[in-house]
Amino acid sequence: MSVAASSSAKSAVPRDTQRIYSIAELSREFAITARTIRFYEDEGLIKPRRQGMTRLYSVGDRTRLSWILRGKRLGFSLAEIRELLDLYQVDRTGVQQLRELLRRSQLHIADLERKRADLDQHINEFREVESQVSAELRQRGVDPESD
Amino acid sequence: MSVAASSSAKSAVPRDTQRIYSIAELSREFAITARTIRFYEDEGLIKPRRQGMTRLYSVGDRTRLSWILRGKRLGFSLAEIRELLDLYQVDRTGVQQLRELLRRSQLHIADLERKRADLDQHINEFREVESQVSAELRQRGVDPESD
DNA sequence: GTCTTAGTTAACGTTTACGTAAACGTCAAT
DNA sequence: ATTGACGTTTACGTAAACGTTAACTAAGAC
């Protein structure tokens, strides 16, 4: 689990900005296969350094990966996720580019908020099921809490 | 847009509980193809009445369909959606069944709330991008509002 | 030295969620 | 009687997102 500590354990601030992860470490941590990680690379979602043939993942790569997985959980396709990731690292020097970035961010936020409304409605429906069923059980003299 | 009104427009309550939809109507309304609707039927998600070979969709079928589509937007697979739909129409007479329903509802709610946390985080990140980019544009003397 | 433990590429297989013809039936309107 | 709109089934096709061998290499442990 631990990489040979090269420095003193003085600073409380995680200075492991330099940390490097192997593909196996990341696959364990995120409970996905190495194949999946390599696949994301083929799809242009992550670009780890290489040491010969071996892939070396930086902290940034790790963050990117977790971002990708969250996107997946939210129901975005890999193509959409790639677009969103690219949004972040687009060149922000020109005014035109900034305006485009702003526009697309706003579109994306609107999309997400629609999704959130869907989700809230969905949650409420199930909460209602839950409370109705609980009530029904209590009425029958059963404690809904008992496992 | 309007269907020939067969009754007086007296009651404000939509009494069109009897309404029947064709597959084309539903596909238009929800902006999906008829193929998709038939596919959902093959997968056991909707079961419309038949008049000969032709499918007739009730108001309940319509509701079910919109529920399915919302599930999809939230990133659930059709298999998961089928399970959730089945949750609703399970036999609720026995105590054991009620307890099982309660248990599964609670699991599902927990899952949804995790998803909601993901989504909120995601939204916040993009809001921050938005405000940063807006600030940057203002600093450069550009009005971010102008289209 | 060789054995074990990661790592690699390459290529084919699989599941999900439909798209896309092909080939046909039904009914109203011209 | 034919055209057109709408419906049907059957069946093959496809894109996305990986899983699964297979056939290797490179680095340490013993």
3-class SS letters over chain A: CCCCCCCCCCCCCCCHHHCCECHHHHHHHHCCCHHHHHHHHHCCCCCCEEECCEEEECHHHHHHHHHHHHHHHCCCCHHHHHHHHHHHHCCCCCHHHHHHHHHHHHHHHHHHHHHHHHHHHHHHHHHHHHHHHHHHHHHCCCCCCCC
pLDDT at B5: 39
Q: Which of A15-29, A129-143, B42-56 comes out lowest in average pLDDT?
A: A15-29
What are the beta bridge partners of residue B105? none
Distance (Å, whole) CA B136 – CA A7: 39
| Å between A130 CA and nearest CA of chain B | 6
pLDDT at B6: 40
Which residue do the tokens 């959606």 mark?
Answer: B81
Which residues sit opposite B51 in a β-bridge?
B54
Q: A18-76: which CATH number, 1.10.1660.10, 1.20.1250.20, 3.40.50.620, 3.90.650.10?
A: 1.10.1660.10
Q: Which residues of B touch A122 (CB under 8 A)?
A: 70-71, 74, 112
Reply yes or no on whether the pLDDT at A126 is more than 80: yes
Contact, A79 CB vs strand D, < 7 Å: yes
Q: Are B134 and A102 within 8 A, CB to CB?
A: yes
Residues of chain B in contact with residue A101, where contact means CB-CB under 8 angstroms, are: 129, 133
Q: What is the pLDDT of residue A16?
A: 73
* Residue A115 to residue B119, Cβ atoms within 8 A: yes
Specify which residue's alpha carbon is closest to the C1' of nucleotide D18.
Answer: A36
- Confidence grade of residue B13 (pLDDT, cut at 50, 70, 90): low
Element (H, E) at B46: none
Res A87: pLDDT: 86
A12 pLDDT band (50/70/90 cuts)? low
Parallel, antiparallel or unpaired: strands B49-51 and A54-56: unpaired
Chain B contact present for A110, CB below 8 A: no
Give the nearest partner residue to B105 out of A76, A130, A140, using CB atoms. A130
Chain A's closest residue to B110, CA to CA, is A123
Closest nt to residue A37, judged CA to C1': D18
Contacting residues for B21 by C-beta, under 8 A, at least 6 apart: B56, B57, B58, B61, B62
Q: Is the pLDDT of residue A95 over 90?
A: yes
Nearest Cβ partner for B115 among A73, A76, A142:
A73
Separation of B77 CA and D24 C1' (Å): 38
| Per-residue flag: A31 CB under 7 A of strand D | no
Please name every residue paired with B55 in a beta bridge, in sequence order, or none if there are none: B50
Across A51-60, average pLDDT: 92
Give the model confidence (pLDDT) of B49-74 as tens digits.
Answer: 999 889 999 999 999 999 999 999 99
For A100, the closest chain B residue by CA position comes to B133
The pLDDT-based confidence of B14 (bands split at 50, 70, 90) is low
Largest CA distance in chain A: 69
The topology (CATH level 3) of B17-89 is: Multidrug-efflux Transporter Regulator; Chain: A; Domain 2 (1.10.1660)
The pLDDT of A59-77, averaged and rounded, is 94
**DSSP label of B21:** B
Q: What is the token pair recorded at B88?
A: 């609703």
- The answer to whether B118 and A70 are in contact (CB under 8 A) is yes
pLDDT category of residue B3 using cuts at 50, 70 and 90:
very low
CB A98 within 8 A of CB A92: yes
Q: Is the CB of B54 under 7 A from strand D?
A: yes
Does the structure show a pLDDT above 60 at B139?
yes
Residue of chain B nearest A93, judged by CA positions: B136
- Residue A10 confidence (pLDDT): 46
* pLDDT at B37 > cutoff 80: yes
Q: Does the structure show a pLDDT above 70 at B9?
A: no
What are the structural domain ranges in chain B? 17-89, 92-147
Mean pLDDT, rounded, for A26-52: 94
Q: Report pLDDT for B143.
A: 84
Report the C-alpha gap between A67 and A45 in whole angstroms.
Answer: 10
With CA atoms as reference, the chain A residue closest to B98 would be A133
Please tell me the least confidently modeled range out of A30-39, A84-93, B6-15, B111-120: B6-15
CB A75 within 8 A of CB A111: no
pLDDT for A5: 39
Average pLDDT along chain B: 88
Which residue is listed with tokens 């083929």? A42
Model confidence at A124, in pLDDT bands (50, 70, 90)?
very high
